[in-house]
Amino acid sequence: MKKTGIFIVAGIFVGWLLLSLAYLVPTGRIRTHIKESLPLLESEGENPYLIEEYKGSSLDNYTDEIMLGTACFQSERPFYKAALMAERENTDEEEPLQWLKCDLLNEGEGYTVSYSRYWHGYLIFLKPLLYFLNYSQIRKLNSVVFGLTLLLLAIAFAKRKMWFGIYAEILTLLTLFPGSIPFSLQFSACFYIAAFAELGLLWKYEKLEEKGWLGFYFCGIGMMTSYLDFLTYPVVTIGIPVIVFVVLCPKKWFDCIKEVIIYGISWACGYVGMWIGKWVLGTLVVGENLFADAVGSVKLRTSGSTDYMDLSIVDVVGRNMDVLNNAYGKMITIAGLVVVAIALVVTVVLRKTIDYKKVSLLIMLSLLPMVWYCGTANHSYIHYWYTFRDLSVTVFAVTMIPEMLVQSMRAEKKE
C-alpha cells in the first residue's frame, strides 16, 4: 500500500510537470488554427449525428469546443499555476462556440472561468497538435492513429491465436460506435487508455505477472483515466483489461477472483487518488480552494436524482440500453449470443470440461457498467448518449466466453 501511495504521488507530480510544459507552448499559432476551425464547428453544430436519428452516432462538439477554448486561452497566471486552473473565456451565452468567438474574434462580452476540478491532461497532446494543425486536421490524424491502434490489437490477439478474442473485440468496438471516436476528442481518451491497456496485457502479461507489477499496472490505468478523461465512459478502462486478464490467467477461480478484486481496488486508488491529488495540489500551489467546486460536482453527479425526477437503477440502465435498442444494437446482441451458444455446445459435444466458475466470473464482470450507473446515476442518466459506451464492457465480457473456453482446452492439453 505504501508503494502504491508513492506511485500515485509521483504520478500527480509528473502529471503537473507535463501540463506545465504544455502551457509553455505559445498560443499564437494555436489560436490561429482554432480560428480556421470555427466555420467547420459552426456548420456541424454541437452534437451532429453521423447516422441520422441514431443517438449513439452523435459527436460531442460541445465538449470539444470547451477543450479548444481551454487550449487557446492566454492566462495571466504563471504557467505552472495556469496548468492547474484550466481557465477559458466564457460568456452569458450557453454555447461554447460563442465562448470561442468571444475569445478569438472579440464577439461579445466575456469573462474568465476555471474548470479546475478536472486534470485536463489531454492538453499535453492537444496544445502541441494545435500548434501545427487545425481541428479538422487533428481529426484526420486521430483517424489514422485509431486505425493503427486497431491493427495493433488485431496483431496482438493473433499472436496469441486468440481468434475468438478478435471477434469479441470487433463486437465491442461496434458497441462503442467507432465512427464517432476519431471525430470527437472527448470520446478518444477512454478508448485509447483501454486499448493500450489491452495491448500491454496481450504482449507482456506473463512478465507483468512474474514481476508482480500488475497492481501498479492497473493503478496506472486508473491514474491515466483520471488524468485524461472528462468522465465519459471510464468503466471500459478497468473492465476491458481486467476481462483480458481473466481470460489469460491460468490460475484457479478463487485465486483469479482474488486478483480481480485487488486490481479493481488498485484501479480505483489510482483513479480517485489522482483526482484528489489535483485538488490538493491546486489548492496548495494556486492558493484557491479547489475542493468546494469539485466536491459539489461529485455530489451532484453521484446523486440519485435530476432537477425534475428521482432516479432508479432501472431508469438509468434502461435509458443507456435504449441507445442500442435498434437494428444496430440487436445485430451486435445476436452476433454475440449466437457465437457464445455455439462455443458452449461444441465444448459439450467434445466432452471438454467447462470451467463454470470462470464463466460466472466473466458474467459478473459484465455487470460492471450497472454498478457504475448506480454510483453515478445523475451523470449517467443525463449524458446517456455517450455513457452508453460503458455497456461495451458487458458485450466484451460475454463474447470473451468462447475464447476463455479455448484457453481452458489448451491448458488441459498441456497437462
The identity of residue 119, as a single letter, is: W
C-alpha–C-alpha distance, residues 209 and 263, integer Å: 12
List pLDDT tens digits, range 365-379.
999 999 999 989 888
C-alpha–C-alpha distance, residues 204 and 214, integer Å: 10
Q: How confident is the model at residue 414 (pLDDT cuts 50, 70, 90)?
A: low
Q: Does residue 146 sit within a domain?
A: no
Q: Record the pTM.
A: 0.95
Q: Does residue 396 sit within a domain?
A: yes
Cell numbers describing residue 85: 486552473
Q: How confident is the model at residue 288 (pLDDT cuts 50, 70, 90)?
A: confident
Query: Pick from 195, 186, 238, 241: which is nearest to 58 by CA?
Result: 186
List pLDDT tens digits, range 53-83.
788 899 999 999 999 999 999 999 999 999 9
**Parent domain of 44:** 2-132
191 and 53 assigned to the same domain: no
Q: Does residue 143 sit within a domain?
A: no
368 and 227 assigned to the same domain: yes
97 and 186 assigned to the same domain: no
% pLDDT > 90, the chain? 71
252 and 395 assigned to the same domain: yes
92 and 218 assigned to the same domain: no
196 and 237 assigned to the same domain: yes
* Interval 89-105 mean pLDDT: 89
Residue 121 has what pLDDT? 96
Q: Does residue 403 sit within a domain?
A: yes
* Interval 336-360 mean pLDDT: 80
The identity of residue 72, as a single letter, is: C
Residue 395 has what pLDDT? 96
- pLDDT for 191 beyond 90: yes
Q: How far is CA 377 from CA 117, 267, 290, 315, 390, in A?
A: 19, 21, 24, 9, 13
413: left (phi over 0), alpha (psi -120 to 50) or beta: alpha
- pLDDT for 415 beyond 80: no
- Which residues fall within 8 angstroms of residue 189, CB to CB, at 6 or more apart? 122, 225, 228, 229, 230, 232
88 and 174 assigned to the same domain: no
List pLDDT tens digits, range 111-132.
889 988 899 999 999 999 999 9
Residue 154 has what pLDDT? 96
* Count: domains in the chain: 2
Residue 352 has what pLDDT? 65
- Which residues fall within 8 angstroms of residue 41, CB to CB, at 6 or more apart? 61, 64, 65, 97, 100, 135
Q: How many residues does the chain have?
A: 415
Residue 93 has what pLDDT? 83
List pLDDT tens digits, range 234-281.
999 999 999 999 999 888 888 899 999 999 999 999 999 999 999 999
The identity of residue 230, as a single letter, is: F
- Residue 87: Cβ within 10 Å count: 19
Segments of 74-155 assigned E as strands: 87-90, 111-114
List the single range of 135-144, 145-154, 336-345 with lowest mean pLDDT.
336-345
45 and 189 assigned to the same domain: no
Q: Does residue 147 sit within a domain?
A: no
Q: Cα–Cα–Cα angle for 124, 126, 127, nearest 5°?
A: 75
- pLDDT for 296 beyond 80: no
196 and 254 assigned to the same domain: yes
8 A C-beta contact, residue 248 and residue 208: no
Q: How far is CA 5 from CA 262, 274, 285, 376, in A?
A: 15, 10, 20, 26
- pLDDT for 304 beyond 90: no
Query: What is residue 96's three-state secondary structure?
Result: helix
More confident site: 19 or 302: 19
- Residue 140: Cβ within 10 Å count: 11
Residue 413 has what pLDDT? 64
Residue 239 has what pLDDT? 97
Residue with cell 455455439: 342
Cell numbers describing residue 155: 496483431
189 and 110 assigned to the same domain: no
Residue 401 has what pLDDT? 92
Residue 251 has what pLDDT? 81
* Interval 187-195 mean pLDDT: 97
Q: Does residue 138 sit within a domain?
A: no
Residue with cell 476555471: 114
Q: Cα–Cα–Cα angle for 17, 21, 26, nearest 5°?
A: 160
Q: What is the mean pLDDT of the chain?
A: 91
* Interval 1-11 mean pLDDT: 90
Residues pairing with 114 in the sheet = 87
Residue 351 has what pLDDT? 62
Burial class (CB in 10 A: 0-12, 13-18, 19+), 22: buried
123 and 200 assigned to the same domain: no
Query: What is residue 65's three-state secondary structure?
Result: helix
Segments of 268-326 assigned E as strands: none
107 and 168 assigned to the same domain: no
Residue with cell 449524458: 383
- Residue 8: Cβ within 10 Å count: 21
Q: Does residue 142 sit within a domain?
A: no
Give the HSE-up count for residue 22: Cα atoms under 13 Å, Cβ half-sphere: 26
Residue 250 has what pLDDT? 86
Q: Cα–Cα–Cα angle for 407, 409, 414, nearest 5°?
A: 95
Q: Does residue 219 sit within a domain?
A: yes
% pLDDT > 70, the chain? 96
